[in-house]
Amino acid sequence: MTIKPLIILPDPVLRQVSKPIERVDTDLQRLSDDMLETMYDAPGIGLAAIQIGVPRRMLVIDLSKEGEEKQPLVFINPEIVSSSDDRSVYEEGCLSIPDYYAEVERPAKVTVKYLDREGKEESVEADGLLATCLQHEIDHLNGVLFIDHISRLKREMVIKKFTKAAKSKVL
């Protein structure tokens, strides 16, 4: 397993729409292992393939707490098939937008169909943190960032801050 470098805002790669995965094979399973290793190293609870520069529709999640046994989940070609009218608000962060957090309102429950690591069709009904995390990561696959769900003024300030930081690293 290899820890991959994370793509950081304002990199335009984060705005790409990821392509569906045609087949599940050992290369894809290796990619999921690399993604999990990268996510654990960061540390984070979710990671979409595009965040390591791979525009494929795959994400990984692990909501286990520190000290608990790891519970990695791999979602290939995930698709939200239903969402509740009830809403919930969570403070979200993102490995591609380090050290920035904001409250985001999303549907409280979602049903997601996907392929697992072996290519088997699965479906999960999620609520709470898992529902939020799935929506956040699926947004990534569609080129959407969590800051797109906050006010325009706050979003522009965040983008400006990260653009300035990126320019200073280049110099």
Domain boundaries, the chain: 12-170
Cα angle 150, 15, 86; round to 5: 40
**Model confidence over 97-155: pLDDT tens digits?**
999 999 999 999 999 999 999 999 999 999 999 999 999 999 999 999 999 999 999 99
Overall CATH class of domain 12-170: alpha beta
Residue 170 clears pLDDT 80, i.e. is over it = no
- The CA distance from 80 to 154, in Å, is 27
Mean pLDDT of the chain: 96
Q: DSSP class of residue 168?
A: H
User: Helices (DSSP H) in 12-64: which residue ranges?
Assistant: 26-41
What length does the chain have? Answer: 171
Q: Residue 171 has what pLDDT?
A: 57
Q: Which residues of 40-61 are buried (b: 16+ CB within 10 A; e: fewer)?
A: beeebbbbbbbbbebebbbbbb
| Set 37, 91, 92, 137: catalytic member | 137
121 is catalytic: no
Q: DSSP class of residue 95?
A: T
